[in-house]
Amino acid sequence: MNAAEVVNALLVQRFGVSSGDVTDETPLRSLRIDSLALEELRVLIEDQLDIDLEDVPLTSRDTVGQLVAAVDGMVPA
Positions in 2-31 near another protein (CB under 8 A): 13-17
Provide the 10 A C-beta neighbour count for residue 37. 17
Q: Which stretch binds another protein (CB under 8 A): 22-30, 37-45, 55-63, 68-76?
A: 37-45
Would you count residue 39 as binding another protein (CB under 8 A)? Answer: yes
Tell me the C-alpha to C-alpha distance, in Å, between residue 71 and each of 2, 23, 28, 68: 10, 16, 14, 5
In the bound complex, what is the minimum distance in angstroms from residue 6's beta carbon to another protein? Answer: 17
Positions that interact with another protein (CB under 8 A): 13-17, 32, 36, 39-40, 43, 54
